[in-house]
Each structure stands twice: as C-alpha cells, then as structure tokens.
Amino acid sequence: MAMTLTIVKPDAVAAGNAGNILAMLEKKGFTIRGLRMLRLSEDQARAFYEVHKERPFYGDLVKFMTSGPVVPAALEHDNAVPFLREVMGATNSAEAAEGTVRALYGTNIERNAIHGSDSAENAAIELAFFFSRSELIAGR
C-alpha cells in the first residue's frame, strides 16, 4: 500500500462538501490514515506551495489557500498517487471528467475543491508537512 496527501480546499470546506469528498474517496477504496482541519497561515501556504513561487498564480494561490479552513488527509491505496489524481479529475474543473471530485465540487481552475500530491516523492514531503509519522495510523 502507498500513501498520498490530499487537501480539501477552502472552497469545498466553505460549501459544506468536505465530508462528501472524504466519503467519495473512501468509496473509491482509499483508507484515511490521518486527518485534521486547520487554517493555513500565509507563511505555511507559501512554504507548502513554494514549488510554484515563480509562477504568476502563486500569490493568488496563497491568498486562496489561506481564505478559510482546509482539511488535509493522509490517504492509503494501491498506487495512491496516480489513482487519487484520476479520482480528482483535471485541474480545471470545467475540463474534469464526469464523476470526478473536481467535476462534482469544483467551480474553476483555482477553486477546484481538492489538492493531491503529484508524485510519490512529493507525497512523502507533503505528508510530512501536515503529519508527523506518529500521527499516521498504521495500515490494516
């Protein structure tokens, strides 16, 4: 089993869809190994999205991710990273396949309801950003 990180973003939390999204992920076979709700500080958001700091959308992304509570979750599944990306759908909600998280709960390319790690290496880094090793519940 592999692990990855997801974050239910402020738009989905504000709309009352965090539970729906987490339930959808569980129905797809993910096991939640860590979960919390928090509001990112500007410093935390800048650090988490530092990989994008040279991109024109970085400031708006930081502002959006600090606009309300988020729900980071550690997820376990075979092929966790690519499978989560499939379940999430395209970054632009308007282009996301029917039945994906972003098609159901996102509204546009920025307010797309959910974040997911893009590689196993980044999943390890991102999981450690939100959860200590001792906070992650051991597998079955």
The pLDDT tens digits for 85-102 are 999 999 999 999 999 999
| Res 140 pLDDT > 70 | no
| Res 117 pLDDT > 80 | yes
Q: Residue 35 is inside which H or E element, if any?
A: strand 31-35
Q: What is the model's pLDDT at position 27? A: 98
30 three-class SS: coil
- Percent of residues, the chain, with pLDDT higher than 90: 94
Any idea which fold 2-133 has?
A: Alpha-Beta Plaits (3.30.70)
Q: What is the model's pLDDT at position 2? A: 96
Token representation of residue 42:
């500007």
| Res 138 pLDDT > 90 | no
Higher pLDDT, 42 or 137: 42
- 67-84: per-residue pLDDT in tens? 999 999 999 999 999 999
pLDDT confidence band for 137 (50 / 70 / 90) = confident
Domain ranges of the chain: 2-133
Q: What is the model's pLDDT at position 139? A: 63
Distance CA 42, CA 59 (A): 10
Instruction: Please tell me which residue in 9, 85, 102, 115 is annotated as part of the active site.
Output: 115
In the residue annotation, 52 being an active-site residue is answered as no
Closest CA to 130 of 48, 23, 8, 21: 48
Are the CB atoms for 5 and 73 separated by under 8 Å? Answer: yes
Q: What is the model's pLDDT at position 71? A: 98
